[in-house]
């Protein structure tokens, strides 16, 4: 079996996401790039190491070094990708499910190429992208990265060719943290608004009032996804966002002594986790999995995170950390874990055990191999029962799906937002929509 993996390593019209990086041992941890790009490299590594597949990695940046056993193909334009993948005799192309003009071109060119495309979705998908993937006959599978991510599309026809496979994570090289001698909180993530660091920053002084000797370590920067991004006066994030969180972390223009900004870090961030009491993940709405939670948990650090989507798969509430529904709950859990040593140690030990055994590359890659075999042999995609999180929403979605299965037009909640509501209504029920439009126009 020949598998083509397309690593989208260039920002559309802006240049390379990363350069001169050594990816020969991705199992040792993310060296400091975006989690999506890291997982594509880890997939190529696992396929080469734990299967008989021929693995072809297609990318545009020449300066990076990739794992042994992976054949690297450099090309200049995404428009050439399908032709090159086909010429190289690949059976399947794994490409990111993403809404960019050049990636849309890839889907369009694949339609009549005879290539089996597997679209790997690492983010929640907008309305038009979902429609593109569903209707394109070349796209045989859409792979989500968590159960909650998959459940988001329960009532859309795309679910008929969708599944989920957890991201890979190998934590065996990380030791169990000893309980820190002084209290410390570590936030890990890009310094972008959707990652939510400003929410933690806003509560930091309240945390200090309860635990005056606490330290805040911040791993990440506003250059995580693009090394050429222009940063604000503190050199941390783009100016507007930097101002939003730094007003909570400065006095007289000086950064609080308790706050340490460490920038982007690779595997060496484990040294910070070994002296961390509580790890924090603050993604507001976008987290489909939560690799940064695993980074902390595998070192024996309990994690406090927002109770949303993919973090249900990577943080076990009350077992490996806590999931808070709002900032006040999150703050309370952080303070509780900073103060209660016995609880902290117990959850940290359980976090390491859970992380080490659940996401190993040699385990996860078997699911990919089964998926590839199913695609090549034309087997249908199995439907997966939903979880019990967000019960009301999911009940409505399941009713919606039943109605659609029985040819009753409905509007899928999975892609419904304020911005696309009119478009969704118009496409689902075009005639009533036009009548309603005329009526309201009067």
What pLDDT digit, counting tens, does each position of 340-374 carry?
Answer: 999 999 999 999 999 988 999 999 999 999 999 99
* Model confidence pLDDT, tens digit, residues 165-196: 999 999 888 999 999 999 999 999 999 999 99
Instruction: Give the residue, 241 or 421, on which the prediction is more confident.
Output: 241
Token output for 108: 């369009």
**How many Cβ atoms are within 10 Å of 131's Cβ, its own excluded?**
17
State how far the alpha carbon of 228 is from the alpha carbons of 201, 237, 263, 264, 375, in Å: 25, 12, 15, 14, 39
pTM: 0.85
Find out whether 173 and 435 touch, Cβ atoms under 8 Å: no
At residue 158's C-alpha, the angle toward residues 124 and 397, to 5°, is 75
Instruction: Give the residue, 108 or 418, on which the prediction is more confident.
Output: 108
Domain ranges of the chain: 2-170+361-376, 184-358
C-alpha–C-alpha distance, residues 33 and 54, integer Å: 25
State which CATH number among 3.90.470.20, 3.40.50.2000, 3.60.15.10, 2.60.40.10 fits the domain covering 184-358. Answer: 3.40.50.2000
Residue matched to tokens 């390491």: 352
Rounded to 10 deg, the angle between the 430-441 and 421-428 helix axes is 130
Q: Nearest-CA neighbor of 417 among 156, 122, 99, 127?
A: 127
Residue 197, pLDDT > 60, answer: yes
Instruction: Give the residue, 405 or 6, on which the prediction is more confident.
Output: 6
Structure confidence at residue 430 as a pLDDT band (50, 70, 90)? low
Rg (CA), the chain: 23
Strands (E), 7-128: 10-11, 15-16, 54-59, 70-74, 92-96, 116-120
Structure confidence at residue 414 as a pLDDT band (50, 70, 90)? confident
Helix, strand, or coil (residue 183): coil
Question: What pLDDT score was predicted for residue 51?
Answer: 97
Q: Nearest-CA neighbor of 120 among 409, 371, 383?
A: 371
C-alpha–C-alpha distance, residues 165 and 144, integer Å: 6
Residue 389, pLDDT > 60, answer: yes
C-alpha–C-alpha distance, residues 199 and 197, integer Å: 5
* Model confidence pLDDT, tens digit, residues 62-114: 999 999 999 999 987 777 889 999 999 999 999 999 877 667 688 888 888 88
Q: What is the mean pLDDT of residues 133-158?
A: 95
Residue 422, pLDDT > 70, answer: no
Token output for 305: 């995170």
C-alpha neighbours within 13 Å on the C-beta side of residue 50: 17
Token output for 372: 């590839």
Range in 50-59, 208-217, 287-296, 430-439 the model is least confident about: 430-439
Range in 16-25, 160-169, 294-303, 328-337 the model is least confident about: 16-25
Give the whole-number percent of the chain exceeding pLDDT 90.
Answer: 68
Residue 434, pLDDT > 80, answer: no
C-alpha–C-alpha distance, residues 357 and 351, integer Å: 10
Range in 120-124, 135-139, 217-221, 399-403 the model is least confident about: 399-403
* DSSP at 316: -
Residues near 200 by beta carbon (within 8 Å), at least 6 away in sequence: 185, 187, 216, 280, 282, 330
Residue 431, pLDDT > 80, answer: no
Rounded to 10 deg, the angle between the 197-210 and 239-246 helix axes is 20
**How many Cβ atoms are within 10 Å of 414's Cβ, its own excluded?**
21
C-alpha–C-alpha distance, residues 198 and 193, integer Å: 7
Token output for 129: 């992208």
Question: What pLDDT score was predicted for residue 442?
Answer: 43
By 3-state DSSP, what share of the chain in percent is helix, strand and coil, each rounded to 5? Answer: 40, 15, 40
State how far the alpha carbon of 35 is from the alpha carbons of 233, 319, 380, 442, in Å: 27, 25, 30, 51
Helix, strand, or coil (residue 377): coil
**Per-chain mean pLDDT for the chain:** 90
Find out whether 185 and 278 touch, Cβ atoms under 8 Å: yes
Instruction: Give the residue, 37 or 418, on which the prediction is more confident.
Output: 37
Residue matched to tokens 């117990």: 346
Q: What is the mean pLDDT of residues 220-234?
A: 86
Residues near 213 by beta carbon (within 8 Å), at least 6 away in sequence: 182, 183
CATH fold for domain 2-170+361-376:
Rossmann fold (3.40.50)
């Amino acid at each position: 079996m020949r598998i083509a993996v397309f690593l989208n390593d260039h920002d559309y019209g802006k240049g390379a996401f990363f350069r001169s990086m050594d990816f020969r041992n991705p199992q040792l941890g993310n060296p400091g790039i975006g989690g999506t790009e890291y997982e594509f490299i880890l997939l190529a590594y696992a396929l080469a190491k734990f299967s008989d597949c021929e693995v072809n990695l297609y990318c545009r940046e020449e300066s990076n070094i990739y794992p042994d056993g992976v054949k690297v193909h450099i090309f200049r334009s995404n428009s050439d990708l399908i032709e090159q993948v086909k010429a190289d005799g690949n059976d399947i192309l794994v490409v990111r499910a993403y809404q960019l003009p050049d990636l849309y071109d890839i889907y369009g060119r694949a339609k009549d190429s005879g290539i089996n495309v597997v679209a790997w979705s690492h983010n929640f998908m907008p309305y038009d992208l979902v429609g593109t993937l569903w209707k394109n006959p070349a796209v045989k599978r859409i792979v989500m990265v968590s159960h909650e991510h998959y459940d988001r599309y329960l009532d859309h026809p795309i679910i008929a060719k969708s599944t989920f496979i957890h991201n890979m994570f190998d934590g065996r090289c990380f030791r169990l943290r000893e309980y820190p001698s002084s209290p410390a909180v570590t936030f890990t993530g890009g310094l972008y608004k959707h990652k939510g660091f400003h929410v933690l920053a806003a509560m930091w002084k309240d945390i200090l009032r309860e635990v005056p000797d606490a330290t805040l370590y911040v791993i990440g920067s506003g250059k995580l996804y693009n090394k050429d991004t222009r940063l604000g006066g503190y050199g941390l994030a783009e100016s507007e966002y930097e101002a939003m969180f730094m007003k909570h972390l400065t006095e007289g223009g000086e950064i609080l002594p308790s706050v340490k900004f460490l920038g982007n870090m690779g595997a060496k961030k484990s040294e910070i986790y070994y002296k961390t009491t509580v790890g924090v993940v603050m993604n507001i709405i976008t987290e489909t999995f939560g690799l940064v939670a695993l980074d902390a948990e595998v070192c024996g650090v309990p994690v406090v995170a927002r109770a949303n989507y993919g973090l249900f798969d990577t943080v076990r509430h009350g077992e490996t950390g806590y999931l808070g529904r709002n900032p006040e709950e999150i703050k309370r859990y952080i303070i509780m874990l900073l103060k209660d040593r016995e609880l902290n140690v117990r959850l940290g030990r359980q976090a390491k055990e859970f992380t080490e055994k659940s996401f190993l590359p040699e385990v996860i890659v078997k699911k990919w191999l089964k998926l590839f075999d199913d695609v090549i042999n034309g087997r249908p995609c199995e439907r997966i029962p939903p979880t019990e999180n967000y019960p009301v929403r999911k009940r409505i979605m399941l009713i919606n799906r039943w109605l659609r299965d029985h040819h009753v037009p409905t509007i899928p909640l999975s892609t419904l937002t304020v911005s696309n509501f009119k478009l969704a209504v118009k496409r689902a029920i075009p005639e009533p929509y036009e009548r309603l439009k005329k009526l309201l126009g009067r």
